[in-house]
Each structure stands twice: as C-alpha cells, then as structure tokens.
Amino acid sequence: MLCRCVSALPNSANEFLHHLARSRAENTLESYNTFLRKFNSFLATRERGLDNFTPEDIYAYERSRADWSPTTTNLFLVIIKSFCKFRLARIPVGATTEEVRASLLEQNRLRLIQECPKHKVSRPLKRKAMTVLEVSRLLRDAKAMTRSYLWKRVWLMWYLGCRKSELQSLVLDDRTFDDKTGRLVVQTAKGQMVERERLLWAEPKVTVPLLCELRDGEFAMGTHRDTLNKMLFYITQGKYDIPVTPHTARHTFITRMQETLVDDPSNILIKRLAGHSAGDITALYTSFTEERVRAAMTKEHYMLGLAPHVREWL
C-alpha cells in the first residue's frame, strides 16, 4: 500500500516514508504521505520540488492554507522538519571542491528550514479529571442505566487507569492474571510498534472478582474502538461539565493518585503505574519495589472508599 501511495513523490520522500514505516503506525504514514504530496503539488506551481524548496516556499504554502488551524500548521512543520533532518543525515560529503560546496549549501538550506518557527497554540485550561464524587455518581448511573456487565467495565476502566487500547486487548490467562494475589500483567502499546508489559495489582474485594468474570468470559470489554465511547456517552448524556471518555478514566486515575501518594513527590511511582516512560534523570536512579506498587493499588487507591457499596452489586 505504501509504495502505491507515494509513487508521485520523489525518491527522497519515498525513502523517508519507508524509513518511518519501521517505527510508525499506518495512519501516521498516511498522514505524512498526504502532507508531503500536497506540499509537493504546491511546489510544482513554483517550479520547485521537495529536493530544493526553501523557507519562503513553506511560508507561502502556509499562507495559501487559510483553512488550517495552528495545530495543523505545526503538524505540517513537524513533518517537513523531520524530512529535512532525514535528508541532512544522508548528504554525501563530496570528493571535489564543487561537491563539497554543494554539500555545504544543501546543509545550510536544510538547517534554515529546520529553524522555521512554530505557531503558538492557545489552549484554555480545562479540567480533565473527575472528582471521586463524580466517579461514584458515574458508577451508580452505569448500574441503573445499563446491563450489569457495563458498570463493571466502568469500574475496571477507572480503577486500572489503562489506555483504551490496553483495555480492549486485555486477555487474562494464568500468565497475565493471578486471582489469589491480584497480580495483573498489562500489555502496554503506545502506537502500534511498541510493545512491553507492566505489572499492576487489583484490589481483592471488588476488582479481583470482576477480573475473574472477565477471565471466565462472563462479560467482554468490547473490541470495537467506539464501543467504550458510546457506552459512556449514553451513561453521562451531558451530566458532567467535562467530556467523559475512556481517556478521562486515565486522567482521573493519574490526578487522584497523585493526591493520594504523598511519598511520591517526583511522581516516579505514578509514572510506573501509568506506564509512562521516565522523563527525568532522577527517575533513572529511583525505583519502587513491587510490594510498594501493590500497596499503592490495593491499599492507597483513590477508589477504595467506593468499594463497600459497589461490593453489594456483585
């Protein structure tokens, strides 16, 4: 599919996309391909191409796309700069004086393009995490308005704080789940090319029984990408002042756990629970035992106060 889509592009752009194919998802490649093809068509009207355009061509193209938002314009700049960085790393040094001069000129052109400034995007501060009271109300609404297995999905989403893709691909067997200890192995997939595991622990009185039901096939998490969104939209129906989606569960998990875990000022344990990669040097020198992770999930979880009345629904 990739070769068919990029046939109208020059060889340098084809090589760039094939290079990205090793680490990018298919929809990302399609986006890069579309931006490059449209920009290449614009350059053709100026008797240029992707191998010899200048910053002035970028500015002219941006002015011609008045329908673009600043975010879209910045995405275009990211793609163009990535392409130039790819080209810059592959410029031959040259053997003769003319070849060296041409190489230096090309390096200077690509560096000037990489210095093109991004557009400022104003994002109003919005609340993305629910309060514990709102989570309690959501669970009650899910219990009253839907079939029994749906509120169980809601509990697991908010308790585990997993990504939607992780929930949809959650398969429990003897290797990934131990119902005696609550040990749960989650396959972490950010994009389609990265796959690793992280260990979580389930609270024994509510979460473990629900995971046992999931393992034994009594209810399914759903595999269609919109299943969870539609379920939450039906339950909430504008009752909250924030959009309630599966990712809201993740925002809520991380925010509320930050408030609960007082011995984690650098949020290193939070990164471990959420499956985020370490973002600072301190994290490289700090580690938590699995017993500490287990205590955070089973004894200090922000939803433990909701467990008693939810336990009555089981």
| Gap between the Cα atoms of 200 and 158, Å rounded | 14
pLDDT per position as a tens digit, 111-130 = 888 888 888 777 677 788 99
Mean pLDDT taken over the chain: 83
**Residue 282 confidence (pLDDT) above 60:** no
| DSSP label of 303 | T
Report residue 239 as tokens: 């009752």
Q: What confidence score (pLDDT) does residue 221 get? A: 62
Half-sphere exposure (Cβ direction) of 168: Cα atoms closer than 13 Å = 14
What is the maximal distance between C-alpha atoms in the chain?
Answer: 82
State the pLDDT at residue 219: 61
SS3 301: coil
What are the tokens at 227?
């299943």
- Which carries the bigger pLDDT value, residue 253 or residue 281? 253
pTM equals 0.63
Reported as a single tens digit per residue, the pLDDT across 35-94 is 999 999 999 999 999 988 999 999 999 999 989 988 899 999 999 999 988 888 888 776
Of 285, 253, 13, 38, the closest CA to residue 156 belongs to 253
Of residues 237, 271, 241, the one with CA closest to residue 254? 271
